[in-house]
Structure 1
Amino acid sequence: MQSVPELYIGLMSGTSLDGIDGVLVDFSGEQLRVLHHASAPFPSNLRAELLALNSAGSNELHRAALAGNALVRCYADVVQALLAHTQCHPHAIRAIGAHGQTVRHRPQEFDGTGYTLQLNQPALLAELCGIDVVADFRSRDVAAGGQGAPLVPPFHQAFFGQPNTTQAVLNIGGISNVTILDSASKTPVLGFDCGPGNALMDGWCYGHTGQAFDDAGQWAASGKVNTDLLNTLLDEAFFAKPPPKSTGRDLFNAAWLDNHLRQFVGLLPQDVQATLTELTALSCAQALQNAASACSMLVVCGGGALNAHLMQRLAHHLPDCRVLPSDARGLPPLQVEATAFAWLARQACLRQTASLPKVTGAQGARILGAIYPA
């Protein structure tokens, strides 16, 4: 007997600010199925405003509210593209999982609780699409004393997990985060942010070439790593901090990089790009080796998985670990995070917990996300 489709949409726009990925997922079978993937770049003015809102500025509340509206209209366009391609009616979709756009992430700071802030207007998205929306996934974990990030390790376990093996899933978006899956361990799932992913590389590339990203890492490959600069960047305290830990553009931003570059005047731009690529590769590799030296397979997703030079550097630093993109395990790199938020939306609708205290440091597992009925 054929099962009745159980359909959810997941939307993700990450710290890399390269645009929106959306997926329509059917959870009715033993293994989830992505029925369609749609993506859209940010309009240049919206991208610039979202980037600017990562830092303090004038009239922030007004600007953030309008940016949230603009972001959600782009989200709605991606939803419509998914529905049109699959010929699904909105009433057939149980919910949309919409992460929003992170502009501040300061858990446990200032007053002991801190905060995390994702620009979003889920009520407007529900209004535009006629579908229930689940949003604000991180705040409940932060309220419980956690980092609110990373949120995807439980999904990585559900989709990529295998018995009798130690493997890891590395998401390289604007920030990189790793999930360690060890079925034989007392703690079968660990996860934490490693540091910068594409954010510094993309920013430097755009500033010097006008291109939004370094296509396949070709520009970085044409440069030479400056070891002194690399070691200076790696001195950042975050890298040595034990998990649970998370980070964002609050730390790894253009000002952070410029501050370190002041003592390295005259470096060729392509050499800086090569060094930033090496920073991402080496910090991720070291984080994995420190947490799971016996790891035999690293599955890479996010935009970084499409950077051939970065993938080569990861493999170089992990000679005893097989490094492969996530499509080799059944889910293309640009679909993993969006699918994770479809899964998180489903968990919320089923009133099931979706956080792991060992990952985020929260006081316990929590149901994540607020539901906005259509």
Structure 2
Amino acid sequence: MSGTSLDGIDAALVDFATHPPRLISSRYEPYSDELRDELTSTCFTEHISVRQIGELDARLGLLFGACANRLREDSGVAAAEINGIGSHGQTIYHAPDLTHAFSWQIGDPNRIAEATGITVVADFRRRDMAAGGQGAPLVPAFHQAVFQHESEYRAILNIGGIANLTLLPPANGRTPVLGFDSGPGNTLMDRWIRLHQGLRLDEQGNWARSGQCRPDLLTHMLDDDYFKRPSPKSTGQEYFSMDWLFRHLQGLTLPAEDVQATLCQLTVRTILDAADKTAPGLKALLVCGGGGRNRRLMELLQEQADYPVLSTEAFGMSPDWVEAMAFAWMAHRTLNRRHNNIPEVTGARSRVIMGGIYPAA
């Protein structure tokens, strides 16, 4: 898995013979500064060099394959023991609202299969979109499989570049599972601190903590139409971009740390407002993804929520690896010819088997 934060590769080796699935081994490989800068300048823009995209596609395929090999070697598991690799790929553009909607991920799966000698499943989102869905979010199906409780209403919050919510009503009822992107997660905070301090992220949210939330700016940003839309809905850094932020800052002169504090509060408010509106009776919010390491963000969530806000660690699954495990699960379902989308989440007309299969031989 490589997400919209563009920070690197999360790889997980997962055993599905048990329930819940067992994480055997994991590995994180950060992108180099040079690659991250190239991806940042290439992704989420409408002006793209075809040659540059083609080279990045091949380059990332080789990197993903090498990472999978190192993960396997670290674990001591032979390639012949692994049924498949699920590769989400690196999103370069997600456009679910166009007349001809599309979502584009790169990281050539042919090269992953050739490098590893293992069958690869990739290109998950476009089959859901072909069935009329948004192609996102996809991880709610995995969240349902591993976190749904018989009688307790839970929500799973994944905070990556974009924040997404999965609403898990009790399994003993008839209420459907829902999920959607609530809005920006880390993306605006990451880009703002990179612009002003040259850092990849706001470590522990300390810079946001040093500033003051500006209510007028927050209210202006919260008035965006995306936050008022009902689900199904999904978004990305194409929408919540620096241009989006600069439009809201127009005419304002604020200390940079105050803008960061307000962006942190924006993430918190859009998450909790969405959860309160769509999940009355919620008993717990389980957090995973990189945003869970932002101490300031977690403090604000815990202070402002009317229910416990907990790491998925408390439920037996490391928050750092939930998403990578989800795409292993997706691939496992695909290879066993089992549906792996939720139409109520994505808006698809029907359940489909997502992912193209690239055989090892």
Structure 1 and Structure 2 fold alike (TM over 0.5): yes
Aligned 8 A contact 1:46 1:67 in 2: no
Whether 2:310 is the aligned partner of 1:321: answer no
Q: Secondary structure at the match of 1:263?
A: coil
Equivalence for 1:90: 79
Of 177, 181, 193, the match for 1:193:
181
Whether 2:214 is the aligned partner of 1:226: answer yes
Between the aligned partners of 2:355 and 2:224, the Cα distance in structure 1 is 32
User: Displacement of 1:188 after TM fit?
Assistant: 3.4
Between the aligned partners of 2:2 and 2:200, the Cα distance in structure 1 is 15
Between the aligned partners of 1:243 and 1:131, the Cα distance in structure 2 is 37
Between the aligned partners of 1:186 and 1:87, the Cα distance in structure 2 is 43
Equivalence for 1:15: 4
Between the aligned partners of 1:326 and 1:306, the Cα distance in structure 2 is 12
Equivalence for 2:108: 121
Aligned 8 A contact 1:108 1:145 in 2: no
Equivalence for 2:317: 331
Equivalence for 1:151: 138
Amino acid at match of 1:172: I
Of 16, 24, 29, the match for 2:18:
29
User: Displacement of 1:128 after TM fit?
Assistant: 0.9
CA offsets, 1:83-136, max 9 Å, x none?
111111212111100001111111241x2x411111120011111111111000
Q: TM-score, normalised by structure 1?
A: 0.94
Equivalence for 1:56: 46
Deviates more, 1:157-166 or 1:83-92: 83-92
Between the aligned partners of 1:97 and 1:277, the Cα distance in structure 2 is 32
Equivalence for 1:40: 29
Amino acid at match of 2:10: D
Q: 4+ runs of 1 displaced by more than 2 Å?
A: 184-188
Of 194, 198, 201, the match for 1:213:
201
Of 254, 261, 264, the match for 1:274:
261
Amino acid at match of 2:277: N
User: Displacement of 1:185 after TM fit?
Assistant: 4.4
Between the aligned partners of 1:104 and 1:42, the Cα distance in structure 2 is 19
User: Displacement of 1:356 after TM fit?
Assistant: 0.7
Q: Report the identity percentage.
A: 44
Equivalent residue pairs, number: 358
Amino acid at match of 1:97: G
- Structure 1: tracts of 5 or more residues without a match: 1-11
Deviates more, 1:121-130 or 1:28-37: 28-37
Whether 2:230 is the aligned partner of 1:251: answer no
User: Displacement of 1:31 after TM fit?
Assistant: 2.4
Between the aligned partners of 1:221 and 1:27, the Cα distance in structure 2 is 41
Aligned 8 A contact 2:208 2:258 in 1: yes
Equivalence for 1:264: 252
Q: Secondary structure at the match of 1:105?
A: strand
Aligned 8 A contact 1:108 1:142 in 2: no
Equivalence for 1:3: none
Whether 2:147 is the aligned partner of 1:160: answer yes
